[in-house]
A and B are shown apart, each in its own frame.
Chain A
Amino acid sequence: MKGVRAIYVLYLAVLFLGILYFTTLGWLGR
């Protein structure tokens, strides 16, 4: 189940880092 957990964490990381990245672009007015 370690590999499954790694995929789970990867999905969460992509989602939250993606939201952070795209929100930052907006706040910076780029």
Chain B
Amino acid sequence: MRRFLRENSLSLGFGLAFVLCLVGQAFAGVADFNDQRVSDGLDPISLGRFVTSSVFAVDVMENWQSEYLQFFLYIFGTVWLIQRGSAESKKLAEAGPESDEKQRVGAHARRDSPPWVRAGGWRTTVFSRSLGLLMGALFLLTWGSSSVAGWAAFNGEQLAGHEDPVSWIGYLGHAEFWNRTLQNWQSEMLAVGSMAIFTVYLRQRGSPESKPVGAPHAVTGQTG
């Protein structure tokens, strides 16, 4: 058991931290929501009612969508885009999908390669892009979910203010939807760009996200 926890500490540790933060978000969210309700002269709602509300749903989904957009763009973007000297970049001459030999596909598949690599055809084509495809699908699904939850939450506010509700399509063109979307996107783009450039000149000893401490600034794509 101890060994299992140690060998999987990255995914388990972040998974646990995710659950704790989500629970914290629920408690802080209902307190914040009830502050507003009380100041509007309305009765506070329970934690159970809050976590089954579209207000909580849109707050969760709008953050998920931007994270998966970030990973999707990062995974696909780094196939082609290069940053000289960055730990996050391939070497300048390796831009693109690379050779079958380097990627160990086609005639270069090995006996211990995953079954879909040895299968060839469409299965190898799909498997060759499966990480980016999953991240892209998760982005589209979570963005769609944030639009549906945001639409319901928005209409709740409209009705409370004795204003007309809008259709889902109408909400997609509404400033609130794009404000929620773009405020999350901008931070992800900044984080990716800064990570790419900071790893040229800065190091984190022992981290695979960094070049080795003693690596020259000019060396590209050599991770610690």
Chain A positions within 8 Å of B, measured between CB atoms, are 3-4, 7, 10-11, 14-16, 18-19, 21-23, 25-30
Task: Please determine whether A23 and B52 come into contact, CB atoms closer than 8 angstroms.
Answer: no
Task: Please determine whether A19 and B142 come into contact, CB atoms closer than 8 angstroms.
Answer: yes
Query: Which chain B residues lie closer than 8 Å to A16 at the CB level?
Result: 141
Report how many residues on chain B are interfacial, defined by Cβ distance under 8 Å. Answer: 28
Query: Which chain A residues lie closer than 8 Å to B7 at the CB level?
Result: 3-4
Tell me the dominant secondary structure on chain A's binding face: helix
Query: Which chain A residues lie closer than 8 Å to B148 at the CB level?
Result: 23, 26-27
Which 5 residue pairs of A and B lie closest in terms of their CB atoms, listed nearest first? A26-B148, A26-B149, A22-B57, A23-B145, A25-B57
CA A8 – CA B125 in complex, angstroms?
A: 22
CA A22 – CA B143 in complex, angstroms?
A: 11
Verify if B189 is at the interface (C-beta below 8 Å from A).
no
Task: Please determine whether B4 and A3 come into contact, CB atoms closer than 8 angstroms.
Answer: yes
Task: Please determine whether A19 and B8 come into contact, CB atoms closer than 8 angstroms.
Answer: no
CA A7 – CA B8 in complex, angstroms?
A: 9
CA A23 – CA B54 in complex, angstroms?
A: 9
Verify if B34 is at the interface (C-beta below 8 Å from A).
no
20 A-B contact pairs sorted by A residue (CB < 8 Å):
A3-B4, A3-B7, A3-B8, A7-B8, A11-B11, A14-B15, A19-B61, A21-B57, A22-B60, A23-B61, A23-B144, A25-B152, A26-B54, A26-B57, A28-B152, A29-B54, A29-B156, A30-B52, A30-B54, A30-B57
Query: Which chain A residues lie closer than 8 Å to B150 at the CB level?
Result: 26
CA A19 – CA B141 in complex, angstroms?
A: 7
Query: Which chain A residues lie closer than 8 Å to B141 at the CB level?
Result: 16, 19
Query: Which chain A residues lie closer than 8 Å to B152 at the CB level?
Result: 25-30
Query: Which chain A residues lie closer than 8 Å to B64 at the CB level?
Result: 18-19
Verify if B117 is at the interface (C-beta below 8 Å from A).
no
A15, A26, A29: most-surrounded residue (chain B CB, <10 A): A26
